[in-house]
Copies of this chain bind each other. A is one copy, B any other.
Amino acid sequence: MGSDNARIGRPRSEQARQSILHAADDLLVDVGYAAMTMKGIAERAGVGRQTLYRWWTTKAEILLEATIDDLLEELTTPAEPDPVEDLSTYLRALGRFLLDDPAGLAYRALVGEAQHDPAVRDLVRTADPLGTSARAVLDRVRRTAPAMPDPALCTAHLVGPVVYQVLTAQTALPDTELRAHVTDLVARWSTATGSA
């Protein structure tokens, strides 16, 4: 599908760009990722197909650009003094986001496509919107949790269960489980170590 040549720049008209990104977003919600086509995006946006191919290589690229701002905004939760509360709030928001929000649907579709297409894998890994949002929360917690390891590992431990549950079961984890999970993590990160 996608070749190697990367497009640089943007459409001349910012309004056209917004039309395209909105068209992609709407199409995803309307027909799903599989039935979403470059042709369909172009038609819904009222632009020529070549305009799409000029600035983007795949529908995944368009979709990521269309949703990344919403994604980062939705996953920015207010700081709370208690670390457990802070992280729980974040995970609750994450679960809701992945299940119900259009941008969450887009993120799931992109992670899915990343399993099929190496170019999309690199794209999502580089943007890493979920990791970025998690890092923001984890940085707040770090003051009270000196034993926190590498942020990437923390992120995986923190969000892994939630993401796994949504990807495989289309379900959110119950609140009590979320709290227990976060409590364990904070305890381990606060004291010297939690294992052998």
Contacts and interface: CB of A to CB of B under 8 A. Distances in A.
A157 interface: yes
A149 B33 CA distance: 35
A180 B193 contact: yes
B167 A195 contact: no
A38 interface: no
Interface string A140-170: 0000000001001100110111111101111
Interface residues of A, number: 52
Given A176-B195, A184-B188, A161 B170 contact: no
A71 interface: no
B180 A194 contact: yes
Given A33-B116, A113-B116, 11 more contacts: A111-B115, A112-B113, A112-B115, A112-B116, A125-B170, A156-B165, A157-B161, A160-B162, A160-B163, A176-B195, A180-B194
9 contacts: A111-B167, A131-B168, A156-B161, A157-B177, A160-B165, A161-B161, A180-B194, A183-B196, A184-B184
